[in-house]
Amino acid sequence: MIQYISGTLTFKTPVLAIIETMGIGWELKIPISTYEKLPTAGKPCKLLTYLHISQDDIRIFGFATEAERELFVMLNKIGGIGPKIALSILSTLSIPTFIKAVNSGEEGLLTKVPGIGKKSAQRLIVELKDDVHKLLNHIDQKELQIGDVSSEVESALLSLGFNLHQIRKELALMDEPMQKLNTEELIKEIIKRIYQRNK
């Protein structure tokens, strides 16, 4: 398997990145969580990879972190999921939020993912309950602490009917003062910022 590709990022969209190395442009399918971490085009870039071979297709998937790749591999082992829905999960939920949803059996949070219905959500909970904790080995404590708060904020704001993309965008823009807020204060701050942007 190709472990990673390192070179110059020549092109990026929320669903793919092209990295040029030794005169070859590698097209990698990516989740939005990876896109958010990419440098600007023309800058050096390294992405962890997963080579997916099916009957009629060969694709390389790229990930910014080992946790993203590990979850992608886990998801692809579950019947009825496949690469497209695995990317959809990574693009919709942060990894700490996904872990929390599986551990606490929150079907409602999982069904917010495009392509995941109630039966698929139940299957994910049953089949990953014993393995999802392995992802914690690839997340540092600071990221996990921020992620725990973020997952609570995501869940609360989703239940209030806010758009997931807007929630994640505001969470990604968290500065240090925001990171020190407790969950309740952070929810209020993000609601305020979403309303300000929508004016």
What are the tens digits of pLDDT across the range 138-166? Answer: 665 555 555 566 777 877 888 788 877 77
**Helix or strand holding residue 68 (H, E):** helix 66-76
**43/16 Cα distance (integer angstroms):** 16
Highest mean pLDDT out of 97-101, 118-122, 168-172: 118-122
Q: How far is CA 41 from the centre of its chain?
A: 21
Tokens of 171: 């969470």
**10/38 Cα distance (integer angstroms):** 11
Class of domain 4-64: mainly beta
Give which of 36, 64, 46 is closest to 8, Cα–Cα. 46
Instruction: Kindly state the average pLDDT of the residues 62-86.
Output: 91
Class of domain 66-139: mainly alpha
pTM above 0.85, yes or no: no
Give which of 83, 78, 87, 132 is closest to 105, Cα–Cα. 132
- The band of 41, judged by pLDDT with boundaries at 50, 70 and 90, is very high
Q: Is the pLDDT of residue 191 over 80?
A: yes
User: Given this model, what pLDDT does residue 199 score?
Assistant: 67
Q: How far apart are the first and last CA of the chain?
A: 49
Using an 8 Å Cβ cutoff, are 155 and 97 in contact?
yes
